[in-house]
Amino acid sequence: MRSFRRHISLLLALLACSAVRGVSLDSLMNLPVIGAPLINYSPETNWVFGAGIQGYVLLPEAEKTSVLQLDGAWSMKHQWYINAHANLYIGGQTPLLLQVNGGYRDYPDTYYGIGNQPNDTTAHLARIGQTYQSQRGYAQVAALFELPMLWAIGPSAEWILEKTDLGSSRCHMWGVGVTAQYDSRDILYYPTRGLFFKAGLTYFEPALGSDTRMGRFDTDLRHYVHLGKGFIFTYQLRTQWAIGNDIPFQMLSSFGGQDLLRGVPHGMFRDNAMLALQTEMRLPIWNFIHACVFAGIGDVYNTAHWQWATPKVGYGLGLRIGINRAKINIRADVARSNIYTEWNSWRSYSFYLTATEAF
């Protein structure tokens, strides 16, 4: 469920475009509101079905079109969610991008333990995990002021309330921070060249209402290199650091799933530091059909009690089917990892079906 917030809204745009054959992004933006069904698949969720609406508006003095989205879905693992998202471009002497996310989800999740390698307790969890029930509400707001040279920076705020039946029954966090972003990508959904970098620092404080005091630092670096004739090489470097003495396990750093190190189950490894690198070679096949070969490596670490372990590796192949001129794609991936072959050979492959690229 973690990656639904990002992908389901893009899948909404994809299905809307496929419903109106030949619609380009420019003509799509002339439609004020679009509704469409949603469908997705990943090992963590099984099949997901839902619906949503997406609206477009050009605010006064703004050069870019703002997007507002509302969607909800239910999975065959009895997970459900509702989510709202807005990217508001506000014009003026200092252009502003206001990003707003919020929603609620209720679903069974899986806990595999903490750390980067199994011990007597977590070796069993690493194979099957421990299912628990979770209800989670969340909201995020960031106001990024555009600067020269493609940079933007501004304050951010975050609220999380999660109740579970595993260990501590509640995680309630309020945080404030700052976000900086650089973006020279040529296309939003399927970049062929350019650089994207985003860094965010968030501080959670009991005086604001948080259960505990902690900090979180995230970085995301992506580079796209066009090699000619439709061949694209790209890589992404992700880090996340959770700093504090009493960090809820829901706030620890993790990876896996359909976006970061495909083939590794989401949340199987978590600790207070995460480092991951993944690459893709994107290959043209015919017209709007592309393929890709991908691989990634990463792990989690405890900065107070450092313990080395074999890095986690995911790799696989993918097929992309373009829907419109905005380069929105249906993405089908099959992946494998060294985790499955060592501990979980009965489940050697993971399959993902969603919209847009992993990065």
| CATH numeric code, 4-355 | 2.40.160.50
Q: Distance (Å, rounded) from C-alpha 88 to C-alpha 90?
A: 6
Q: How far is CA 205 from the centre of its chain?
A: 25
pLDDT tens, the chain, 359 aa long: 444 334 444 444 444 444 433 344 444 444 466 666 777 777 777 788 888 787 778 888 888 778 888 888 888 888 888 999 998 989 888 899 999 999 999 977 788 888 887 544 444 455 566 788 889 999 999 999 999 899 999 999 999 999 888 766 789 999 999 999 999 998 877 899 999 999 999 999 999 999 999 999 999 999 999 999 989 999 999 999 999 988 988 899 999 988 999 988 888 899 999 999 999 999 999 988 999 999 999 999 998 888 888 899 999 999 998 876 657 788 889 998 887 544 444 456 888 887 778 89
Three-state SS for 212?
coil
Domain ranges of the chain: 4-355
Element (H, E) at 102: strand 96-111
What pLDDT shows up at residue 159?
A: 97
Three-state SS for 127?
helix
Token pair in block for residue 239 = 């880090």
What pLDDT shows up at residue 133?
A: 82
